[in-house]
Amino acid sequence: MKLDLVANLLVSPELAGVLENPALIGAEIGAASINGEAVPEPTTILGALAAGGLITAARRRQAAKG
């Protein structure tokens, strides 16, 4: 799963106050871009493998009884 986020950076009222320039409130001062990708944790992968093994073993037992 991928995540791409693009946003404009605006001057906050607090920053405009510190700069003593209220005309800056809401002014665009740049852009931000964040790109990310989800990577499963190793424990998640191990859990999936263990669950698959248990399911396979249960099916084999069922087939042997059957």
Distance CA 55, CA 52 (A): 5
Provide the 8-state DSSP code for 47: H
Picking from 23, 3, 5, the residue whose alpha carbon sits closest to that of residue 13 is 23
pLDDT above 80 (res 66): no
**Is pTM beyond 0.85 here?**
no
Out of 4-18, 30-44, 51-65, give the one with best mean pLDDT. Answer: 4-18
Which residues, other chains included, contact 15 with Cβ-Cβ below 8 Å and sequence gap of 6+?
A: 24
